[in-house]
């Protein structure tokens, strides 16, 4: 365990990573314009990044692909709801509802 002053130095280093990455191009500002072709490609960044954060959580259980994962059923329900309705609360209600129902019906080991 890192303790005392060293712990706070670790926090400051992590804070630096937050500023260096999130700040990067915003802080550089005027001098750091990216070429148009890169900016066009970056339009695909949100979908790719969000999906990269979501899919491992839906497909993996304890680090292995598990097609009978309750989170996968809940995720498919959320996608169906989000495709059909624009209500912002519905995905949470349906998603958590399906998750709890499947967890109850398919008890783990």
Partner 1 sequence: MALNPAFRSGAAAGLRAFVPVSVGFIPWAIVTGIAMRSSGLDAPESIGMSLLVYAATAQLGALPLIASGAPLWLIFVTGMVLNLRFVIFSAAIAPSLREQSLPRRIVGGFLLTDNAFAVLGPRLAETRDPVWRWGYYIAPSLYGWTLWQGGVLVGVFGAGFVPADWSLEFMGTIALMAMVVPMVRSRPMLLAALVGGLGAVLLRGLPLRLGLFVAILLGIVAGFLAERWNEKRAAP
Among 5, 67, 83, 109, contact with partner 1 (rule: CB under 8 A): 83
- Residues 36 and 40: their CA atoms lie apart, in Å, by 6
Least separation in angstroms between CB 35 and partner 1: 11
Quick note: the x/- pattern for partner 1 over 43-82, rule CB under 8 A, is xxxxxxxxxxxxxxxxxx--x-x-----x--xx--xx--x
Least separation in angstroms between CB 36 and partner 1: 11
Site for partner 1 in 3-22 (CB under 8 A): 6-22
Instruction: Tell me phi and psi for residue 34, to 5 degrees.
Output: -85, 150
Q: What is the largest CA-CA distance in the chain?
A: 58
Confirm or reject binding of residue 106 to partner 1 (CB under 8 A).
no
- Residues 95 and 86: their CA atoms lie apart, in Å, by 15
Confirm or reject binding of residue 32 to partner 1 (CB under 8 A).
yes
- Residues 80 and 83: their CA atoms lie apart, in Å, by 5
């Amino acid at each position: 365990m890192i303790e005392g002053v060293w712990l706070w130095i670790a926090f400051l280093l992590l804070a630096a990573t937050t500023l260096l990455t999130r700040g990067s191009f915003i802080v550089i500002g005027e001098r750091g314009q990216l070429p148009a072709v890169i900016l066009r490609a970056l339009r695909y960044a949100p979908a790719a990044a969000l999906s990269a954060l979501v899919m491992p959580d839906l497909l993996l259980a304890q680090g292995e692909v598990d097609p009978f994962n309750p989170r996968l059923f809940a995720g498919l329900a959320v996608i169906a709801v989000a495709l059909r309705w624009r209500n912002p609360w519905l995905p949470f209600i349906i998603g958590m509802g399906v998750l709890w129902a499947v967890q109850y019906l398919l008890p783990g080991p």
